[in-house]
């Protein structure tokens, strides 16, 4: 009688999938637990995510990069006075404080088409690392396409909806906020870009479009810029953003 074949417990059937994802799969095991190395790696990733939440905008580097576009630049602040209040009171992060609001009113900008906002969100690290490289692709493309740009703004302790107020104060047809997304254990530096046509305070998420996970390990800058340019053109053509505006760029290329 043939002996039953012994199952190979050394090979994890998930191992071949590791090259396609940064998710924690095929970690191996020691007894009934994951290996010590993987346990430490998990704690390190968790620490990076927590650090990202409490990170700050590197204003010196950001302003240096923004001034290269030859546009006025304003540094603004939400109504959240510090990071702790920002985390505990999301509503305050959606509104400019009085000084920032007055600063934009004094700008006296005439009607423009696009207002870019850089905001820390839940990962200033993402903005510090990815916002300027993305703008370096976008701004020349938008100017070549004939779009007019409002003064650039950087908002601290800010949430997505703060761009609605900023866009309205700058008389822009479209506000675009580049903001740090909630960090994950494999992506503490993910940048999100949100679009709002006819921005004004009080709009909800259904009025916006979003492109997320912009970073070299996620959605590369070049592809993100291509998608953003397409959505800008469609938003201006249809005079809307949100659930009625779809990203059909893949269909156009197919």
- Binding-site positions for adenosylcob(III)alamin read 160, 181, 210
Q: Which residues contact 45 (CB under 8 A, 6 or more apart)?
A: 185, 186, 188
Say whether 228 sits in a helix, a strand or coil.
Answer: helix
User: Rounded to whole angstroms, what are the CA distances from 204 to 113, 160, 200, 231?
Assistant: 21, 10, 10, 19
Binding site, residues? 160, 181, 210
* Residue 118 near residue 155 (C-beta atoms within 8 A): yes
CA dist., res. 194 & res. 189, Å (int): 16
Q: In what side-by-side order are the strands of the sheet with 73-77?
A: 73-77, 152-156, 112-119, 172-180, 191-197, 208-214
């Amino acid at each position: 009688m043939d002996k039953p074949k012994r199952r190979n417990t050394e090979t994890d059937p998930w191992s071949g999938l590791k090259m396609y994802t940064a998710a924690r799969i095929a970690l191996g095991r020691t007894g009934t637990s994951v290996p010590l190395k993987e346990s430490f790696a998990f704690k390190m990733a968790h620490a990076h995510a927590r650090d990202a939440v409490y990170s700050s905008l590197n204003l010196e580097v950001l302003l240096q990069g923004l001034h290269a576009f030859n546009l006025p630049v304003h540094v603004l602040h939400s109504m959240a006075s510090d990071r702790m209040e920002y985390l505990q009171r999301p509503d305050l992060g959606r509104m400019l404080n009085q000084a920032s609001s007055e600063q934009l009113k004094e700008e006296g900008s005439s009607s423009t088409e696009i207002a870019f906002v850089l905001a820390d969100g839940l990962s200033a690290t993402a903005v510090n690392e990815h916002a300027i490289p993305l703008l370096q692709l976008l701004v020349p493309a938008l100017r070549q396409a004939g779009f007019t740009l409002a003064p650039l703004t950087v908002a601290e302790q800010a949430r997505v909806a703060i761009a609605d107020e900023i866009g309205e104060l700058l008389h822009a047809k479209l506000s675009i906020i580049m903001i740090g997304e909630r960090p994950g254990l494999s992506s503490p530096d993910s940048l999100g870009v949100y679009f709002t046509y006819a921005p004004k305070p009080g709009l909800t998420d259904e009025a916006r479009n979003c492109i997320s996970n912009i970073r070299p390990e996620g959605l590369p800058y070049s592809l993100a810029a291509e998608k953003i340019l397409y959505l800008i053109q469609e938003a201006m053509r249809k005079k809307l953003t949100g659930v009625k505006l779809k990203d059909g760029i893949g269909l156009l290329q197919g």
